[in-house]
Amino acid sequence: MYQEEYVKKQKGLVGITIDFRWIEPASTSDEDQRAAEVIRQFTFGWFAHPIFSLTGDYPPIMRKRIDIISKRQHFHRSRLPVFTPEEIEIIRGSADFLGLNHYTTSLAVYSETKITPQPSFYTDMGGILKDKPDWPKSNSTWLKVVPWGFRKALNWIKYTYNNPLVLVTENGMSLEPGLQDTRRVNYIDGYLKALHTAIVKDKCNVIGYTYWSLIDNFEWTRGFSERFGLYELDYDSPNKTRTARLSAAYYGKIARTKCIPSSWYFVD
């Protein structure tokens, strides 16, 4: 509808945002290598492949695995819906850019579990996720600090989907309350350097970056217990006072100069 009615006048772009944690094989074994790619397709390709691939439709490996497992579970048809040829053509290429939410990386371990009548996403994928114990932690159990995974994720998108236009819509780290958030500064610094390398050296087609979030916010099932903000929010204050953290000064300098500072690394 936008293309038909508004694009000539507004000259805007329409995109979709998808969350993508990088999936790294836990070992060099063929099984873990395959499991990592399958999990990427199940967690990201599930939504991206129909829109950004040259062929459209769901990822072939996703179709193959769910069709086989559905049959073994005695379903009358696959649990993965089937697009009509017309639907494939309508969806394919329907976004002008890919919005990317990226926070962290996980390791993929091959795990072909017993197929039971009860459907399981992990059984369908044939793999499980884990973290490396020495990866730096955040205040969210699921979020570890792995900047090199950001570059790998961007390159995977480049080669899998013919280097689409990418806008990084979310990237950030939760920490405990406090204004001297040096670990958040280090997080932003590391991830922006990985992004810079992906753009300059790898030629990934990234047009922008947005940190999550400007102010401490309500986080899904975690409520107000996890703080991602560049500005600290005093929830007990009648005025809900906002105070800039160290990371706000760091991020502000980047926004003003369009350069990553060379002397902002903190050891804590």
Task: Cite the active site residues.
Answer: 170
Residue 268's Cβ-count burial label (10 Å; 0-12, 13-18, 19+) is exposed
Cβ atoms within 10 Å of 121's Cβ, excluding its own: 8
CA distance 228 to 224: 10
Interacting residues of 55 by C-beta distance below 8 A, sequence separation 6+: 92
**127-130 and 105-110 strand pairing:** antiparallel
CA distance 36 to 125: 9
| 170: nearest Cα among 107, 131, 228, 257 | 228
The secondary element (H helix, E strand) that includes residue 242 is strand 242-244
